[in-house]
Structure 1
Amino acid sequence: MMRSMFSGVTGLRNHQIKMDVIGNNIANVNTVGYKKSRVTFQDTLSQTMRGASSPQGNRGGTNPMQVGLGMTIAAIDTIHTPSSLEATGNMTDLAIEGDGFFIMSDGQGYYYTRAGNFGFDEEGNLVNTANGFKVMGWQNAQSKTPQNISPIIVKKGMMMAASATSDVRFAKNLNDADPVGTQYIIPFKVYDSKGNAHNLTITFTKNGDNTWDYDIKDSADTSIYNDTLSFNTYGILTSGNPSTPITLNVNGAEPITFDLDFSNVTQYAKETTIDLSYQDGYPAGTLLGISVDSTGTITGVFDNGQNMELAQVALAIFDNPSGLIKAGRNMYTYSNNSGEPQIGMAGTGGRGTISPGSLEMSNVDLAEEFTQMIITQRGFQANSRIITASDEMLQELVNIKR
């Protein structure tokens, strides 16, 4: 008589736990990066009143006779299905389109999260704005391996070092129809090791059929190099590129040594368009802003017109993400059943790509949760009726003796 009552108690207790999980899901319907939980039930060990018997002679076998003793929680699983992205317009808000996790650190261990509400603190650390945990990735790393991830630091107003010019190239056309003695003067700049600009000019002078002299002068009108460009009868350059680098001595900095290339200069009967096509030097620059691409690479935009990779956000993937332990604050920790974290770059190894300026929304489906709430409520009510009915039966038994 009492077995039914205890079975009803297990039903009440475990349906209450399922309702707790449903309530938590609904509470987190707008939590960034939240992954819903699901409760599944299983029956408990049954009491065997008669065992099974095998067929004997002319008699068939019999099935076991068992009475169940209620139910229990089989599992509370975290469902890592992807969710929709919400555009925020904030470049440091990141969302993952795939199965990866951001790697966070409190200085003592690693945590993993899908919530990419990031920003910079006063020291330039890229952190989760909710808890201050630092985002891990690669910065100034020779090789991007799981062993050398570190906190990402991007400071406002940071400087980019100057780069001396080492390569100068000219391109386009010198007019074949120009008479001998025609000159074209083209100014251009080169940069020294400190980023100082030095103004130079190059003068092209036609001295005969298919030949042009050129002379490079500094700002004091002193010649630093001269030679002749020669073209074949098809207008293609045949000679004139210097065989050794050109050196320009400057005050207060290292001499500027650069290669000079005219390989893309032609001589056709067309207007002259020759001009500087490339030089690789630039002055020092100050950071103006950043951009983030789908691989998590943070690129700095500097006021000298240059862009430079500053860092890259690392992602981790797990063989069994449902095995991760919830650590609160939208974060998870490694467990024995999650598998080791496989750390790498976004867009590789199934980690997914990063969508900057977006946040991943909760994957809670309110329609599903309210449906489960109704089912759970009815299950709870039904189990309470078991206890009531068992109690009435016990009361009838007690009333036999008055």
Structure 2
Amino acid sequence: MMRSMFSGVSGLRNHQLRMDVIGNNIANVNTIGYKRARVTFQDMLSQNIRGASSPQGGKGGTNPQQIGLGMTVNSIDILHTQGSSETTGKVTDMMVDGDGFFMVGDGNNTFYTRAGNFDFDSAGNLISPSGLMVKGWMADDSSGDIDTTGAISGIQIPKGQAIQPQETQNISLVGNLDANAVTYDDTVTPPTGTTVPVSLTVYDSLGNSWPLTLHLDKDSASGQWLVTRIDNPGWTTAPSVSGGPIIFDSTGKLTAAGDGPLVITGAPPNANAFVAGTNPITVDISSLTGYASDSGESNVELNSQDGYSSGVLNGYSIDKTGIVTGRFSNGLTKQLAQVTLANFNNPAGLMKVGENNYVSSNNSGQAQIGTAGSGGRGDISPGKIEMSNVDLSQEFTDMIVTQRGFQANSRIITVSDEMLQELVNLKR
């Protein structure tokens, strides 16, 4: 039999394999996160007819004479180039902008995927369309801190989950007390001079909100202000304030002797008391100034405070680092979880297992797990999904080339058969 016939057979077989890969690429042109494959060929072993000889005896050397025995597949590569993005507006849809893979699992197995069309199930688990849980780090329930060095787990965020109240412990004030304010005098009726009310809202251990109003009065001592009284909102033990006076220097800045915090104590009904030495409310006044005001008015207001009432989860958002932030009915926002990304030294070494998922292999390297935007891992684009990176113009061109290659190899077999037929006819 002729060697050319077997070469043609190898060409037919492997061009058919290439056509199978092209067909799969085209079939997945609209598959979320799909990465196209590419087939490359190489020649097979060659039969030596004559070896090479070196120059000698006044004669030149000769090259080897070899006849190739056909071709075979060199590689089937997965091309992990970035696919185009599609904006969906859905909060739980995510796209990796750059390198990296989402991690999903079923409790026993871990898979990697570029398809970020996720959603929540009835238990609040963030899952892929096939029911695999999206992996990440859960935030600490009390502090909201996320430990990205700890063990990863499935992300679970039940809608409507409650957040316990936090009693107020720290308050910060900001503003200016007019240096030209008139000294306050309450020995006359009605009192004269300047008093500056500061409205606050504090929360007890049960989450009850209590409005308090501090009254800052200009003292007879130049440049000094005193907290002379605080309204009683109906506490069992009336609130009181200690600390002060508030003293400004000639430049309108607080002096070392007058910048100490104010301390509020008292006992709301049916809740933990704000007791000095245990859990009082500390009021930071270090941001106050004592400049002269053109309007002749002082303006001091609440800058921040750490208390809040109880609430339930109303919604959530995801940022480019994968942090899921919850919005609660009490107006509080709090970190709930962070999505994990993984990267590989050789992503092309990953093995496809269906459902847009990959598993690691001996040649992919170990998964390098971390946060988005670090360690060569891309950012996360929420509200978007990554489309397939299949280029139809490239696939159709490859299809034409493959078809012509298949036809040419089939012609080799046909011509070889005709030559054999001529050889048989010599007998007649």
Indicate the TM-score class for this superposition, using the shorter chain for normalisation: over 0.9
8 Å CA contact 2:199–2:214 kept in 1: the answer is yes
Q: Give the corresponding residue for 2:324.
A: 298
8 Å CA contact 2:136–2:337 kept in 1: the answer is yes
Q: Give the corresponding residue for 1:284.
A: 310
Q: What amino acid is the match of 2:98? A: G
Q: What amino acid is the match of 1:7? A: S
Cα offsets for 1:58-99 (capped at 9, x unmatched): 122222111111111111110111111110110111001111
1:144 aligns with 2:148: yes
Shift of 1:204: 1.8
Shift of 1:16: 0.4
Separation in structure 2 between the aligned mates of residue 242 and residue 251 of structure 1, nearest angstrom: 29
Q: What amino acid is the match of 1:58? A: G
1:184 aligns with 2:201: no
Separation in structure 1 between the aligned mates of residue 265 and residue 354 of structure 2, nearest angstrom: 62
Q: Give the corresponding residue for 2:240.
A: 224
Shift of 1:241: 5.0
8 Å CA contact 1:95–1:114 kept in 2: the answer is yes
Cα offsets for 1:375-399 (capped at 9, x unmatched): 0000000001011001111111111
Cα offsets for 1:276-310 (capped at 9, x unmatched): 22222111121111111111111111121111111
Separation in structure 2 between the aligned mates of residue 234 and residue 51 of structure 1, nearest angstrom: 99
Percent of counterpart pairs with the same letter? 53
8 Å CA contact 1:111–1:332 kept in 2: the answer is yes
Q: Give the corresponding residue for 1:2.
A: 2
Q: What amino acid is the match of 2:266? A: L
Separation in structure 2 between the aligned mates of residue 102 and residue 234 of structure 1, nearest angstrom: 56
Q: Give the corresponding residue for 1:124.
A: 124
Structure 1: gaps of 5 or more residues = none
8 Å CA contact 2:172–2:302 kept in 1: the answer is yes
* Structure-to-structure mapping, 1:105-124, within 5 angstroms: 105-124=105-124
* Structure-to-structure mapping, 1:343-354, within 5 angstroms: 343-354=369-380
Shift of 1:189: 1.3
Structure 1 pair 385–177 and aligned structure 2 pair: CA distance change class (3 A):
same
Matched length: 400
Separation in structure 2 between the aligned mates of residue 277 and residue 190 of structure 1, nearest angstrom: 13
Cα offsets for 1:158-191 (capped at 9, x unmatched): 1222111111222212233333223233331111
8 Å CA contact 1:315–1:345 kept in 2: the answer is yes
Name the SS of the counterpart of 1:48 in structure 2.
strand
Structure 1 pair 57–245 and aligned structure 2 pair: CA distance change class (3 A):
farther
Q: Which residue, out of 351, 358, 361, partners 2:387?
A: 361
8 Å CA contact 1:159–1:286 kept in 2: the answer is yes
8 Å CA contact 1:137–1:152 kept in 2: the answer is yes
Shift of 1:223: 5.1
Separation in structure 2 between the aligned mates of residue 375 and residue 268 of structure 1, nearest angstrom: 81
Q: What amino acid is the match of 2:286? A: S
Moved more, 229-238 or 39-48: 229-238
Structure 2: gaps of 5 or more residues = 141-145, 185-192, 275-279
Q: Give the corresponding residue for 2:38.
A: 38
Separation in structure 2 between the aligned mates of residue 101 and residue 40 of structure 1, nearest angstrom: 26
Shift of 1:229: 2.5
8 Å CA contact 2:262–2:285 kept in 1: the answer is no
Separation in structure 1 between the aligned mates of residue 246 and residue 364 of structure 2, nearest angstrom: 68
8 Å CA contact 1:242–1:260 kept in 2: the answer is no
Separation in structure 1 between the aligned mates of residue 354 and residue 88 of structure 2, nearest angstrom: 24
Q: What amino acid is the match of 1:391? A: D
1:255 aligns with 2:273: yes
Moved more, 10-19 or 154-163: 154-163
Moved more, 194-203 or 347-356: 194-203
Name the SS of the counterpart of 2:419 in structure 1.
helix
Q: Which residue, out of 156, 174, 182, partners 1:171?
A: 174
Shift of 1:240: 4.4
TM-score of the pair, normalised by structure 1:
0.95
Separation in structure 2 between the aligned mates of residue 370 and residue 243 of structure 1, nearest angstrom: 74
Shift of 1:203: 1.2
Name the SS of the counterpart of 1:268 in structure 2.
coil
Q: What amino acid is the match of 1:250? A: P
Q: Give the corresponding residue for 1:212.
A: 225
Q: What amino acid is the match of 1:144? A: T
Name the SS of the counterpart of 2:177 in structure 1.
strand
Shift of 1:269: 3.0
Shift of 1:29: 0.6
Shift of 1:242: 5.2
Q: Give the corresponding residue for 1:193.
A: 205
1:236 aligns with 2:253: yes
Structure 1 pair 401–234 and aligned structure 2 pair: CA distance change class (3 A):
closer
1:335 aligns with 2:339: no
Moved more, 292-301 or 231-240: 231-240
Q: Give the corresponding residue for 1:264.
A: 287
Q: If each structure's strand is expressed as a fraction of its own residues, which one has the higher value?
A: 1
Q: Give the corresponding residue for 2:188.
A: none
Q: What amino acid is the match of 2:30? A: N
Structure 1 pair 91–27 and aligned structure 2 pair: CA distance change class (3 A):
same
Separation in structure 2 between the aligned mates of residue 184 and residue 72 of structure 1, nearest angstrom: 89
Q: Which residue, out of 393, 397, 402, partners 1:376?
A: 402
Moved more, 203-212 or 309-318: 203-212
8 Å CA contact 2:262–2:284 kept in 1: the answer is no
Separation in structure 1 between the aligned mates of residue 183 and residue 301 of structure 2, nearest angstrom: 20
8 Å CA contact 1:241–1:260 kept in 2: the answer is no
Name the SS of the counterpart of 2:290 in structure 1.
strand
Shift of 1:245: 4.3
Q: Which residue, out of 143, 154, 159, partners 1:156?
A: 159
